[in-house]
Structures are given as C-alpha cells and as structure tokens.
Structure 1
Amino acid sequence: MEPAMSAQAALYILAIILLVVAALPVPTRALNFALLGAACALLAYAWPVITG
C-alpha cells in the first residue's frame, strides 16, 4: 500500500500551481496568486518546525 502524500508535499504542489497561475497573463483584482504561492511555499518549508 502506497503511503499518502504528506501535508508538506501538498503545500509545495499548491505553491507551484499558484506561482504558475500568477505567471499567466490573467488579470486579477483582489487576489495576488504570487503572494499566496510564496506564502504556501514558506508554510511548506516551515512545516516540520510547525508540527514539531
């Protein structure tokens, strides 16, 4: 049985998706996908420290 994807891996994948969407030439008003992607990447990086 395959192990499930960890929360850290899911956050990294979400960060990559958000950063790719931010690079597309799609205008958005309130949402800054680059900032959300960077926040997800930082959260994924710090996940082992947060969950201790």
Structure 2
Amino acid sequence: MFTMSNDDFSVHLRDCDEVGSGIPVTSLPDEVTSLDDLPCACWDKFDSIDEVE
C-alpha cells in the first residue's frame, strides 16, 4: 500500500508520482504518528492518520 523512497526514505502512497523508485512497504514506520510526518502532497487527500491505516 505504501512505497519508501530510495533517496530519502520518505514514505508515499504506492501511486505517488513524486516517489520515483522505491521499496514497497506494507505499513507505516513507527516514527509516523501524524500526517505532519508525511510531507508529500500525496497524503493531502487524508484528514487524519487514522484514515490511512
């Protein structure tokens, strides 16, 4: 469901155009506790982290 960027290890939605190449991951890292921890615009369609998980 998610992709971790090879460049900076940021997490993106699988269909994000900005991520480039990356590593598929099935869950968000433990360090992600809010949408503020996910700086890419691909997360803008969510209102809270609860909607993502």
Judge same fold: TM > 0.5, yes or no. Answer: no
> Could you tell me the TM-score, scaled by structure 2's length?
0.20
> Could you tell me the TM-score, scaled by structure 1's length?
0.20
Larger radius of gyration: 1
Structure holding more helix per residue: 1
Structure holding more strand per residue: 2
